[in-house]
Amino acid sequence: MKNFVFISPNFPASYWKFCAELKINGLRVLGIGDCPYEELKQELRDSLDEYYKVGNLENYDEVFKAVAFFSFKYGKIDWLESNNEYWLMRDAKLRTEFNITTGFKDDDMDRIKLKSGMKAYYAKAGLPTARYHLVKGYADAAEFAHKVGYPVVVKPDNGVGANNTYRLKCDDDLHFFIDHKDDNVYIMEEYVKGHVETFDAIIDGKGKPIFESGNVTPLSLMDVVNNGEDSIYYIVKEVSPKIRDAGLRTVEAFGVKSRFVHLEFFVLDADQEGLGKTGDVIGLEVNMRPAGGFTPDMYNFAYELDVYKLWADMIAFDTCTVPTDRPRHYCAFVGRRDGHQYVMNHETVMAKYGSRMKMQGRMPDALAGAMGNLMYVAILDTEEELQGFFRDLLAT
């Protein structure tokens, strides 16, 4: 029996479904987390063969001892994953220490976690990226900003989501940033006039996709986080050919195997010198895990399938079957903010869209910054319905 160690299987809340499908497929599923066992959802407890509680998942020594315990008790660990951006470097270090060969190790981290390290691999894929500079101080940062022109974007070179990401519009903004930034290494990039589209896929052991999807984010996540704006995005019915091509080239260039991936690209909304023409695809960043929040469930709603099972089948059998004749919908997410006065209150929203609504409720605090406080997820069948849903729920 193969041993699968799942780090933090209780967050996001739906991740128990990954564990359940692994267990159905005959793997021994071993969880490590800092949540007391009795507080885990019953579905998760039923999906784990054993759970090791640590005092703090941030404490590497504690987590190392947990993996060592499982290794001593059950033998070699075959897989170790969290499917969570926050723990990717921790996962890689543990795989390196325990010689787990089914995922990225320490030596891979520069290219898949450092935004500066990704640039060369996008070039290998034949995709342009924004010009960049690693910030040392005001003088060098100002030189770069004047070279590419304001605005510029700064963010941690090793960051998660849009945390600590800022658009600087002038030298005064740059002065303020330099004076107040933390000790992280920051990357500065020229501003790209585009919106974000993604290639999301389950990649098998040969580096080939066995499930494909994607989403479109019309609004800047940086502005959503920094300005407390509403959050919206949607799962596409079909991945556009240009995004699929860029996604497959990126998978090959980065050497991705046996993973769920969420690969982000800019699509230019206007011609931009040095980058391309309107509609061209620009490399943004790679995420070697499923898209965040409830997106895995949104794939299921959009395509009427089960990506938790597809992923677990890839892990157990390196294959899965995706019906080609299944229905396809748009699946839209809206995250509203506490304190905003909306034209349509909750009752009105549910009266109009209740038959299309797949999920609604409060977002966990850990996700609210990027995704809003009150979320609605609905399936729509046409572009017109999709845009009407966004207009109705965002009107204030």
Angle subtended at Cα 36 by Cα 30 and Cα 41, rounded to the nearest 5 degrees: 70
CA dihedral over 297, 303, 304, 307, signed as positive or negative: negative
Which residues, other chains included, contact 304 with Cβ-Cβ below 8 Å and sequence gap of 6+?
A: 326, 327, 329
Predicted TM-score (pTM) of this structure: 0.93
Closest CA to 112 of 160, 61, 60, 163: 160
Q: Is the pLDDT of residue 369 over 70?
A: yes
pLDDT digits (tens, 9 = 90+) for 306-328: 999 999 999 999 998 777 778 99
Mean pLDDT of all residues in 245-271: 97
Averaged pLDDT for residues 168-179? 96
Please report which confidence band the pLDDT of residue 149 belongs to, taking 50, 70 and 90 as the band edges: very high
Pick the closest to residue 95 from 319, 248, 238, 259 (CA basis).
259
Residue 188 binned pLDDT confidence (cut-offs 50, 70, 90): very high
* The pLDDT value given to residue 194: 93
Over residues 19-40, the mean pLDDT reads 98
Write the burial class of residue 308 (CB in 10 Å: 0-12 exposed, 13-18 middle, 19+ buried).
Answer: buried
Q: What is the mean pLDDT of residues 262-287?
A: 96
- Residue 250: both structure tokens together: 């990126």
DSSP character at residue 43: H
Share of the chain above pLDDT 90, in %: 88
In terms of Cα–Cα distance, which of 284, 285, 278, 263 is closest to 193? 278
Distances in whole angstroms, Cα of residue 275 to Cα of each of 62, 129, 192, 269:
46, 7, 8, 12
Whether residue 224 is predicted with pLDDT greater than 60 in this model: the reply is no
Band (pLDDT 50/70/90 cuts) for residue 172 is: very high
pLDDT in tens, 91-147: 999 999 999 999 999 999 999 999 999 999 999 999 999 999 999 999 999 999 999
- Model pLDDT, residue 220: 59
User: Is the distance from CB of 259 to CB of 290 less than 8 angstroms?
Assistant: no
Q: pLDDT by residue (tens digit) across 45-71?
A: 999 999 999 999 999 999 999 999 999
What is the band of 225 on the pLDDT scale with cuts at 50, 70, 90? low
pLDDT band at 371 (very low <50, low <70, confident <90, very high): confident
Q: Which residue has the tokens 């960043």?
A: 285
* 387 pLDDT more than 70: yes
Cα 52-57-63 angle, rounded to 5 deg: 55
Query: Residue 44: its pLDDT value, please?
Result: 98
Reference 378, options 305, 304, 326, 302; nearest CA is 302
219 Cβ partners below 8 Å, 6+ apart? 229, 230, 231, 232
Angle between helix 115-124 and helix 241-254 axes, rounded to 10 deg: 110
Paired tokens of 140: 């060098």
Determine the pLDDT at residue 372: 87
**What pLDDT does 365 receive?**
83
CA distance 54 to 32: 7
- For residue 259, pLDDT over 90 is answered with yes
Query: What are 153's two structure tokens?
Result: 């974007």
* Structure confidence at residue 221 as a pLDDT band (50, 70, 90): low
Q: Which two tokens stand for residue 45?
A: 């407890």
Return the pLDDT at 136.
Answer: 96
Torsion on CA atoms 360, 365, 369, 372, rounded to nearest 10: 20
Q: Which pLDDT band, with edges at 50, 70 and 90, does 218 fall under?
A: confident
Which amino acid would we find at residue 280? D
Inter-axis angle of helices 16-24 and 307-317, to 10 degrees? 50
**What pLDDT does 326 receive?**
85
What confidence score (pLDDT) does residue 321 get? Answer: 77
* Mean of per-residue pLDDT scores for the chain: 94
Average pLDDT over residues 373-386: 96
